[in-house]
Structure 1
Amino acid sequence: MKQGFWRLAQADPDWVAAIDPDGTEHRAGELLARANRLVHGLRALGLEPGDGFCGLVPNGADGLVLYLAALQAGWYYTPVNWHLTGPEIAYIVADSEAKAFFVHPRFRREGARGAEAVEPHRRFLLGDDKGDDKGDGFRMAYELTAGRPDTAPEGRTAGATMHYTSGTTGKPKGVRRPLNGLDPDDNAELMTFLLQMFGITPGRPNAHLVTSPSYHTAVTQFGGTALHMGHTLVYMDKWDAEEMLRLCERHRITNSHMVPTHFKRLLALPERTRTAYDLSSVRWMIHAAAPCPVPVKRAMLDWWGDCVYEYYAATEGGGTIATPEDWKAHLGTVGKAWPISELLIVDDAGEPVPPGASGTIYMKMTGAGFEYKGDPGKTAANRLKDFFTVGDIGYLDEDGFLYLRDRKADMIISGGANIYPAEIENELMVHPKVADVAVFGIPDEEWGEQIKAVVEPAPGAEPGPELAAELLASLEGRLARMKWPKSIDFIAEMPREPNGKLLKRKLRDPYWEGRDRVI
């Protein structure tokens, strides 16, 4: 069966292709017409193949239409993180050289500040607010599409998304890949390789639950690919453990994309809540973004069965995959290389290390070259021949399975010894009184760095010295004392992005103000 949203929508316009967080259903024919009108409108605005535009939009059909328009007109679409401030948004709009900027009314305030980076006639507000009386310079998006034909535009050519990295060590950079000039549907069919690696099947009845913000690369890629395979996209506005279970039952979800933090929250639900929902439709629950503690993953497999798949990749490319069977045979692995990928583990001199030895992880993916837009220095610095790295540390076993140790930038050097925070975090995370945890190095006059843990207590757990002592005691016999935190602080809520990525710099940086730290 031929795949690709545009073909599928023409063949079955009544297919419910997307369901908004408020339950509004959007049929494929409607989305197709909206995307076509947008292409015609943006072409009239002067956009040509190779140009790009940005969207500051929540999860739902509005952002999906922007994505579908770009991917059939040869444009780059950059979804912007809606948690950013106006100046941060303006930086991305300007750096991406956006020729149009679309803002949802929910984000109008910071969006208006960010819109200053683009010409006034290229700023568009989504929705039906015809008054537009707040004087912030937006045109209404319907003005761009009103009267435009809903027929397919001529000269269709494949576009792409250009996501911005999180900027954990400086300003974010756009990961830009060359456009391939293919027919959009043929390109979409090639994209389905991603989900096919997990054994996911095309067509209906299949439904993909979008659990995290669509401005994240993996969320866009997995959701977009599921759509191109004919799956219905069911959007969550904000992740909630029980709400996820409810949606899985309500919409007969077959596949989704999660992070280990989601697993921890699900497992913390009362047993009566966990067993109240029918999850029998779920066949592929895919996770990534951070190392998953072995007990947490094992508990999910015990609960959900052999449908929990894992992978390792980055905005820049990938990657590895671990089936449930792989993981059980190689506890803690993130899998083996994709058929189109290769892995390389090297020491600080760039020389390959033997199996079992830790080093910097480099990857390459066939036909997936990229550059950091406007930063050839960063592009070159992260390359080793035709491999790239995002700075993670890990090792390969004798069978070629990859294990993550930590981010190189997060490694603690105490008394000359390399200590990996992720190992300590994984041990603390399994404690029932821990909802979330971060471990990092802080200055120590004698040892260079000492180990600090910051813990978000589980509901009902009382933070304080007694809990700190209990957590440390739980490490006895499981972790060498040299790896024990020297101190534990408590926090009401861990600073994580909605995709689960921990913003550790927000916790660590105050301790290093005025000091030099090599990262």
Structure 2
Amino acid sequence: MTESVTDTADTAAADYPRPERLTGRRWSQTQVSGWIDVAARRCPDRACLVTPERSLTFAEVLGHVRALASALQRRGLRAGERVAILDTDSPEYIETILAVLKLGAVIVPLNYRLAPGEIETLLRAAEATWIVVGERYVPAVLEMAPRLDYLHGVVGFDGTPGTLAYTDLLSEGAGGELVEARVEEEDILALAFTSGTTGLPKGVMQSQRMWKHITSNSMLEYRFTWDEFRYSGSPLFHVAGMNQVLKAICRGSTSLLLRQWDPAALLPWFRRGLTGVFLVPTMLSALLDQPGVSREDFAALRSMYYGAAPMSPALLRRAMDLMDVDFFNGFGAGTEAGMQSVLTPEDHRRALAGQTHLLGSVGRPGHDIDLRIVDDDGSELPPGEVGEIVTRSDMTMSGYAGQPEKTAGTFSDGWFSGGDLGHLDEEGYLYLDGRKSDMIIRGGENVYPPEIEEVLGVHPGVAECAVVGRPDDYWGEIVEAHLVPAPGAVLDPEELAGFCRARLARYKVPERYRLHDDPLPKNAAGKVLRRVLRELP
């Protein structure tokens, strides 16, 4: 039976939901939290999440999600509250995300590589009311918990003493009543932090609209099909890693989850049917360096996705010689603006056929993405001229939580600027030319020099310091610290490294320390000339 709806004022709203254009609401007709329900109805017995120890079907994952959501709802978790997750990758991590979203609460994924002080700063900034944590991180969380005013629940994935056991919550909520929240398109699903500094970190507000468009765009551009079995080397706290698994759930395909990146542990899974992987260049290099690796290992593989850091042409050619698959390169500001450009398999084949310059490109703008190169005044530049990369799409963030000035500085008339520099060629291919900011990308991880300089600056033997990135064949970039000793001080690089390791995540600790007898080079305004430091031999 079909019904007709008119625009007349006497339409009975009680009998038929009024269209969005009449009510002004942007209710979502489909929700991210409902993707698991749809998949479980369509393919209940298909493997959803696979680990070396077990395999969970879509029906099993949905059962766990609903039980966990019911238990948390019964214990008082409400829409809009923020739930932090701190652990390595696991099925429970994904189940927690989906359960929290069913209640209309907000996920706060935390980088497990951060130092305890950095994690405490982020929990405080997020005003998290719950934290779900893995065994390895429980002692640090329990130590800081009394200082966190908003926190009133700590769930332990492994049931560690002092936490509420995850399995107990599943038992408590099994078969219980669950009232799911109805989420609008601009409601916030996640708060993802771009930094772990002891200052004011930037919390990126990610809406349902953003997540849905990132998922649909990447499924289209990366040619994602339902019969896939895929792995992402990007951890779940990264938007890239989380999106890879949510995309599979939306599509009804299977995901491999390993606790942490381990090339030796991953290699056998290619022979067990992996059809697609996402790796950053350092991971791809480590995989190809495994003893005995051969072309036969990748017989089932269909696609290789890489991104998040620069890839050397030599490494890419080596991979393409060993893997007869479709290669994709994706570029973007994932946390804040999703995908921006894609280098397709056809582009890679053109490169192998002689147009090798394409391997230096990050492709052309993806579906429904408007990309321009602009000068400092915002005027569009012609092909060949270097300027700032700006984009406009439905994959952009809603802003930085509690930081309207930073948000306003990132958007201009709807255009997002991530501070990257680049140029377009005559065919519309994008080439990167560095960053306006001084951010360092080390092995796919963003490193911000000011937070390292803040740590080094309190060392009693340091008078001046500046941190820059150095090109590196393995990591893409490494962190290099330039230091001027305080009068009479003798700086020891090993001692400096230990000083930093006690206060920073390991990937932020400088690999190189360069000592200067004279003050660091500065401009007329007194700012350190990082460009000069980067150009030093």
Q: Is the 8 A contact 1:257 1:286 kept in 2?
A: yes
Q: Is the 8 A contact 2:275 2:300 kept in 1?
A: yes
Specify the SS of the correspondent of 1:261.
helix
Q: Which residue does the alignment assign to 1:201?
A: 225
- Cα-Cα RMSD: 3.5
Specify the SS of the correspondent of 1:248.
helix
Q: Is the 8 A contact 2:104 2:180 kept in 1?
A: no
Task: Assess, with a 3 A threshold, how the Cα gap between structure 1 residues 437 and 89 changes in structure 2: closer, same or farther.
Answer: closer
Matches within 5 A, 1:229-240: 229-240=251-262
Q: Which residue does the alignment assign to 1:398?
A: 426
Q: Of residues 521, 528, 537 in structure 2, which corresponds to 1:517?
A: 528
Aligned pair 1:140/2:165, yes or no? yes
Specify the SS of the correspondent of 1:147.
helix
Amino acid at match of 2:189: A
Q: CA deviation at 1:443?
A: 8.3
- Aligned equivalents of 1:260, 1:217: Cα separation in 2: 17
Q: Which residue does the alignment assign to 1:455?
A: none
- Aligned equivalents of 2:262, 2:93: Cα separation in 1: 21
Aligned pair 1:506/2:506, yes or no? no
Q: CA deviation at 1:49?
A: 2.4
- Aligned equivalents of 1:168, 1:344: Cα separation in 2: 31
Q: Is the 8 A contact 1:70 1:160 kept in 2?
A: no
Q: Which residue does the alignment assign to 2:205?
A: 176
Amino acid at match of 1:517: V
Task: Assess, with a 3 A threshold, how the Cα gap between structure 1 residues 403 and 440 changes in structure 2: closer, same or farther.
Answer: farther
Q: Is the 8 A contact 1:264 1:435 kept in 2?
A: no
Specify the SS of the correspondent of 2:372.
strand
Q: Is the 8 A contact 1:245 1:277 kept in 2?
A: no
Q: Which residue does the alignment assign to 1:274?
A: 293
- Aligned equivalents of 1:277, 1:69: Cα separation in 2: 40
Matches within 5 A, 1:36-435: 36-116=66-146, 117=148, 119=150, 121-129=152-160, 132=161, 137-150=162-175, 153-158=178-183, 160-166=189-195, 171-179=200-208, 191-202=215-226, 204=227, 206-250=228-272, 252-270=273-291, 273-275=292-294, 277-314=296-333, 315-317=335-337, 318-327=339-348, 328=351, 329=355, 330-366=358-394, 368-410=396-438, 425=471, 429=473
Specify the SS of the correspondent of 1:278.
helix
Task: Assess, with a 3 A threshold, how the Cα gap between structure 1 residues 510 and 85 changes in structure 2: closer, same or farther.
Answer: farther
Amino acid at match of 1:253: L
TM-score calculated relative to the size of structure 2: 0.72
Specify the SS of the correspondent of 2:85.
strand
Task: Assess, with a 3 A threshold, how the Cα gap between structure 1 residues 168 and 238 changes in structure 2: closer, same or farther.
Answer: same
- Aligned equivalents of 1:230, 1:67: Cα separation in 2: 17
Over residues 410-432 of structure 1, what are the superposed CA-to-partner deviations in whole Å (9 max), with x where a residue is unaligned? 499xxxxxxxx99x83xx62xxx
Q: Is the 8 A contact 1:211 1:235 kept in 2?
A: no
- Aligned equivalents of 2:150, 2:168: Cα separation in 1: 16
> What stretches of structure 1 of length at least 5 have no aligned partner?
413-420, 445-490, 496-500
Task: Assess, with a 3 A threshold, how the Cα gap between structure 1 residues 384 and 289 changes in structure 2: closer, same or farther.
Answer: same
Amino acid at match of 2:233: T
Specify the SS of the correspondent of 1:409.
coil
Task: Assess, with a 3 A threshold, how the Cα gap between structure 1 residues 340 and 443 changes in structure 2: closer, same or farther.
Answer: farther
Amino acid at match of 1:234: L
Task: Assess, with a 3 A threshold, how the Cα gap between structure 1 residues 192 and 388 changes in structure 2: closer, same or farther.
Answer: closer
Task: Assess, with a 3 A threshold, how the Cα gap between structure 1 residues 83 and 376 changes in structure 2: closer, same or farther.
Answer: same
Q: Is the 8 A contact 1:101 1:115 kept in 2?
A: no
Q: CA deviation at 1:27?
A: 2.3
- Aligned equivalents of 2:169, 2:115: Cα separation in 1: 26
- Aligned equivalents of 1:283, 1:208: Cα separation in 2: 10
Amino acid at match of 1:261: T
Q: CA deviation at 1:256?
A: 1.8
Specify the SS of the correspondent of 1:405.
strand
Task: Assess, with a 3 A threshold, how the Cα gap between structure 1 residues 398 and 115 changes in structure 2: closer, same or farther.
Answer: farther
> What stretches of structure 2 of length at least 5 have no aligned partner?
1-29, 441-467, 485-496, 521-526, 531-537
- Aligned equivalents of 2:200, 2:509: Cα separation in 1: 13
Q: Which moved more, 1:366-375 or 1:141-150?
A: 141-150
- Aligned equivalents of 2:190, 2:425: Cα separation in 1: 34
Over residues 281-340 of structure 1, what are the superposed CA-to-partner deviations in whole Å (9 max), with x where a residue is unaligned? 211211111121122112212211242101111211131111122242523111111122
Over residues 212-254 of structure 1, what are the superposed CA-to-partner deviations in whole Å (9 max), with x where a residue is unaligned? 321111111112111221121111223233332211212x111
Aligned pair 1:5/2:25, yes or no? no
Q: Which residue does the alignment assign to 2:453?
A: none
Q: Is the 8 A contact 2:304 2:325 kept in 1?
A: no
Q: Is the 8 A contact 1:93 1:115 kept in 2?
A: no
- Aligned equivalents of 1:16, 1:118: Cα separation in 2: 41
Question: Matched residue pairs, number?
Answer: 433
Specify the SS of the correspondent of 1:177.
strand
